[in-house]
Amino acid sequence: MIEINKYFYLIILIILPYIFINFFINNKKKFLNKFLDLDFSKIQSFHKKPTPKIGGIFIFFFTMLSYLFFQDFLLLGDIFYISIPIFFFSILEDVKIKINPLIRLAILFIIIFLCVKLFNLGIYSVQFYYVDKFLNSNQILSFLFSTLCILFIINGSNFIDGFNGLLGIHALIIISILSFINFYLGNFDLLFICILFIVCLIIFLTFNFPNSKIFLGNSGSYLIGLILAILVIFTSQKTQYHKVYPFLFACLLSYIFFETFFSFFRKIFYEKKNPLYPDKKHLHMLVFSYFKTHVKTTLSINFFYILTMVVVLFFFSYPGFLKVLFILQIFFYVVFYLILLRKKN
C-alpha cells in the first residue's frame, strides 16, 4: 500500500508540472523560440499560430519527478532510465535540427536494442508455437523482436500525432485498460505506475485538447510510444502465469498497428515511394477530411477504438477469440479507410 507521504508527493506531482507548463506558455517568446512550431505549410500542419513543442519536456520532467518521489517502485526507475537517451535524441528535431529519417531509425534501433538488453525487456511468447519456439531458442532473437516491437510503437505514436488530443487520448485509453488488467490480476505496483502516467496525460491534455497551447513534438510522441511499449511489456511479463494472452496486447495496439503497417505497405507497394516520409493519406487525416474539425476526428477515432476494446475485454480469457477479434479490428480499419478514401476522391 502507499504511505501517507506518498499522497503528498502525488499532489506535488500534479501541481508542479502544471506550474511548469504555464510558466513556459506565458514566457514562450522569451524561453521557447527554438521550440516554436512556425511551419504552417508542412504536410502534418493544422495549426495557424506559433505553438511550443514542449510536450516531450513535460513528459520527461514528469517521469523524472515520479522516479525521484517514488523510488520504491523499481519498474518506474527502468522507465526513467530508458527514457533518457530517447528523449535527448528525439528532442533534436524539436529544436529544428533535421536528421535523415533512415539515420534516425537506425539510431533509435541501436538505443532501444541496448535498453532492451540492459533492462531484460525480451518478449518470449506471441501465442504461435513456431514463433515462440524461435524466440525462446536464443535470447538475442527475443531482444531483437522486442526492439522491433518497441520501435514500431514509438514510430506508430509519432505517426498518429498531429491532431489535438489524438495521441494523448488514445494513450490515455490504452494505459487505463492496462490499469484495469493490473488491478484485476493484483499487480498493484504496476497499477500505481499506470495511474501516474494517466495523471501525466490528463495534465498534458488540459493544454492540448480541444485547443492546443502546446504540442507533443517528436520527443513527446516518442516518449508516449516508449511508455506505452514498456507498460505493455511489463504487464505482459507480470501476467504470463495468468490467463491473459499475448493477443490481448495486440488488440490493445491495433490502431497504432494499422496506421503504421498499412501506411508502410501502402507507400511501398501501391504508391512506390519512400515509406519514411509523411503524407496526407493516413486514416486519421482521411477522417479529418470528412469531419473538417480536430475535435470530431479525435473523438470519433477513439470512440470507435473504445467500442472494439469493450468487446475484446469481454473475451480477454479466450485466446482463440482474441486472434479473431484482432483480425476483425484491422479489417474494420481497412474498410473505413477505403470508404473514406473513396469519398475524398
- pLDDT the model gives residue 30: 61
What confidence tens digit (pLDDT) does each residue in 81-90 have?
999 999 999 9
- pLDDT the model gives residue 111: 94
What confidence tens digit (pLDDT) does each residue in 27-49 have?
766 656 666 665 645 555 555 56
Assessment of whether the complete model's pTM goes beyond 0.75: yes
Q: In this structure, how many other beta carbons lie within 10 angstroms of the beta carbon of residue 163?
A: 24
Give pairs for 79-86: CB < 8 Å, separation 24+.
Answer: 79/193, 79/227, 79/230, 79/231, 81/119, 82/115, 82/119, 82/226, 82/230, 83/223, 83/226, 83/227, 85/111, 85/115, 86/111, 86/112, 86/154, 86/222, 86/223, 86/226
Radius of gyration over every alpha carbon of the chain, rounded to an integer in angstroms = 20
Average pLDDT over residues 189-207: 93
Q: Which tops the pLDDT comparison, 269 or 55? A: 55
Please report which confidence band the pLDDT of residue 1 belongs to, taking 50, 70 and 90 as the band edges. Answer: very low
What confidence tens digit (pLDDT) does each residue in 12-26 have?
888 888 888 887 777
Map out the domains of the chain as residue ranges: 4-344
Q: For residue 218, which of 42, 13, 12 has the smallest C-alpha distance?
A: 42
What confidence tens digit (pLDDT) does each residue in 219-253 have?
999 999 999 999 999 888 876 655 667 788 889 99
What confidence tens digit (pLDDT) does each residue in 280-309 have?
788 888 888 888 888 888 999 999 999 999
